[in-house]
A = this chain, B = another copy of it.
Amino acid sequence: MSKTIKKIAVLTSGGDSPGMNAAIRAVVRTCAYHEIECFGVYRGYEGLIEGDFQKMDARSVKGIINKGGTFLKSARSKEFRTKEGRQQAYNKLIEAEIDGLVAIGGDGTFTGAMVFNQEFGFPVIGIPGTIDNDIVGTTNTLGFDTALNTVVDAIDKIRDTASSHNRLFFVEVMGRDVGHIALNAGIAGGAEEILIPEEDLGLDRLVESLNRSRKSGKTSSIVIVAEGDKIGKNIFELKDFVDENLEGYDVRVSVLGHMQRGGAPSCFDRVLASRMGVKAVESLLEGKSTYMVGLLNGKMELTPLEKAIKGKTKINLELLRVSDIMST
């Protein structure tokens, strides 16, 4: 049986996402509610190794629920990938009598947490924080909903200028391996075509689709391209290809970039972060470890970290079909 948890540490690691601050706040306040101590670790595993953490109470996290980014800061730690680094992190935790860890981040963060647990038996719970929504075991990762709204707002603005000039825009959104942002934001932005890594549509289909859309009377078009799209060309090559092969198009490219990671979290992400924070702390208190908290069928559920990492999210085929129908 697991020993009673009395002090919990929380950190954010990997790429930041909106809602991380809200999740930290939830972890800290749930600790306060259960009258156990909570420590905020700066710069992810890097700060763990350096012992760069500090005690936090309910008031320490005041006014951060609506702030983007993570005030604990995030970092990728090379040292934590070494046995020595992890040993040192463990020593620092033991020294401070901390007996549980909540790690907020994505794949890499969870892998680190799992290895750490395997080596030292240290209780860890993960909270999925990444805008990419590429983690199995939750319908939504923290920040995904906010990023979608940011992207859609940008597409709306680009649409204004696209239709004023009867132009074709290629808009690149984040998603190196997964097309969740592209697919959802594409539908919501009324995109004429959406290119995602999960589907190799081929250039022919794109050309055909654009021609059809032009014939149907559309004077401007927006094509959403996920970073990791496998069509074999990057977004600037796509532009060149269309310039050369399609007539009558005035093509422009827009790469939305890092603004997709920032901004005040949406209501959904703030509520999700709050629920996840509560669940993470209470899972540790119940003696659970190496799980990720997630939203499944509207409820907070636990998924083994191993499954969360190794799994691969699937693209929603219904959405693909909806996208096709909408670009009629």
Inter-subunit contact B74/A259 (CB<8 Å): no
Inter-subunit contact B268/A148 (CB<8 Å): yes
Inter-subunit contact A161/B258 (CB<8 Å): yes
Q: Is the interface of A mostly helix, strand, loop or mixed?
A: helix
Q: Which 7 A-B pairs have the closest CB atoms?
A: A157-B262, A160-B262, A68-B160, A69-B160, A188-B270, A69-B164, A148-B267
Interface stretch of the complex, out of A58-66, A119-127, A197-205? A58-66
State the Cβ distance, A96 to closest chain B Cβ, in Å: 22
> Which residue from B184, B262, B325 sits with its C-beta under 8 Å from A159?
B262
> Which residue from B18, B73, B258 sits with its C-beta under 8 Å from A158?
B258
Q: B-contacting residues of A (Cβ < 8 Å)?
A: 12, 15-16, 18, 20, 25-26, 29-30, 32-33, 58-59, 62-63, 65-70, 73-75, 139, 145, 148-152, 154, 156-166, 169, 184-185, 187-190, 216-218, 252-264, 266-268, 270-271, 274-275, 278, 297-300, 316, 318-319, 321-322, 325-326, 328
Inter-subunit contact B160/A16 (CB<8 Å): yes
Task: Please name the residue on chain B nearest to A76 by beta carbon.
Answer: B165
Chain B hits for A139, CB < 8 A = 298
State the Cβ distance, A38 to closest chain B Cβ, in Å: 11
Inter-subunit contact B65/A157 (CB<8 Å): no
Inter-subunit contact B318/A154 (CB<8 Å): no
The verdict on A275 contacting B319 (CB below 8 Å), with A156-B262, A164-B73 known, is yes
Inter-subunit contact A255/B258 (CB<8 Å): no
> Which residue from B16, B29, B190, B216 sits with its C-beta under 8 Å from A59?
B216
State the Cβ distance, A297 to closest chain B Cβ, in Å: 5
Inter-subunit contact A67/B300 (CB<8 Å): no
Inter-subunit contact B165/A274 (CB<8 Å): no
State the Cβ distance, A139 to closest chain B Cβ, in Å: 6
